[in-house]
């Protein structure tokens, strides 16, 4: 039996000048390395669509290259989108749902994400309509020597990352709460745009 995995992105590395590289961040690499230990070619890995941070290559494209370089037999799927706006965790779920809309009702998924980010990711993906059967919360080691995109600077400071996730979870909870209030007057498909 095959398993459907969803990998939630966790940034890319940057050079000394702060320019994004085609390399997953130290956090994201550990998430991807974990995925490589549990997934095989019978499984399907869905990469949540994400950001390019100005490099022209998105996190999901970089992640796909990384995974396939190590195991070329993996079945990896992701939408071919690159947006000029920042895609947050809720957006990861929305755009992936649009990509696999017809298949969504018939599938259960296992979510793979860095442990601190995983609670909010699970919440967002469930609220958007994904059947999450299991969550793999990947503990990661902080690499102070490696730079990460400026927007995700707090990943290098665990207590700050936890505080950020708590605040962002509160924001996402409020978003979904107000959307549910509006649901009484608008068709459901209009709410998530």
Element (DSSP H or E) covering residue 7: strand 4-7
Q: 8 is written with which tokens?
A: 């939630």
Helix (H, G, I), strand (E, B) or coil at 23: strand
Residue among 104, 103, 121 nearest 112 (CA): 121
Q: Bridge partners of 137?
A: 113
Those residues with Cβ within 8 angstroms of residue 190's Cβ, 6 or more apart along the chain or in another chain: none
Q: Bridge partners of 44?
A: 4, 75
Model pTM score:
0.88
Element (DSSP H or E) covering residue 98: helix 89-99
Could you give the CA distance from residue 179 to residue 175 in angstroms, rounded to a whole number?
6
Domains recognised in the chain with CATH numbers? 4-191 (3.40.50)
Residue that has been written with the tokens 């979904």 in this structure: 176
Could you give the CA distance from residue 150 to residue 77 in angstroms, rounded to a whole number?
28
Q: Tens place of pLDDT for every residue, the chain, 193 residues?
A: 799 999 999 999 999 998 999 999 999 999 999 999 999 999 999 999 988 888 888 999 999 999 999 999 999 999 887 667 788 999 999 999 999 987 777 889 999 999 999 999 999 999 999 999 999 999 999 998 999 999 999 999 999 999 999 999 888 888 877 776 666 666 555 444 4
Q: 153 is written with which tokens?
A: 């600077």
């Amino acid at each position: 039996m095959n398993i459907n995995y969803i990998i939630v992105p966790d940034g890319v590395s940057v050079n000394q000048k702060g320019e994004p590289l085609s390399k997953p961040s130290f956090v994201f690499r550990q998430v991807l390395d974990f995925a490589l230990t549990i997934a095989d070619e019978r499984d399907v890995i869905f990469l949540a669509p994400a950001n390019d941070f100005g490099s022209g290559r998105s996190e999901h494209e970089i992640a796909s290259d990384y995974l396939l370089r190590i195991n070329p037999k993996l079945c990896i799927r992701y939408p071919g989108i690159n947006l000029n706006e920042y895609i947050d965790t809720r957006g990861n779920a929305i755009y992936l749902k649009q990509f696999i809309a017809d298949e969504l009702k018939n599938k259960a998924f296992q979510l793979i994400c860095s442990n601190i980010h995983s609670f909010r990711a699970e919440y967002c993906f469930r609220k958007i309509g994904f059947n999450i059967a299991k969550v793999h919360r990947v503990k990661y080691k902080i690499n102070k020597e490696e730079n990460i995109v400026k927007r995700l600077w707090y990943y290098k400071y665990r207590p700050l990352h936890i505080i950020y996730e708590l605040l962002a979870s509160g924001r996402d909870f409020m978003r979904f709460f107000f959307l549910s209030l509006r649901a009484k007057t608008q068709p459901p498909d209009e709410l998530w745009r």
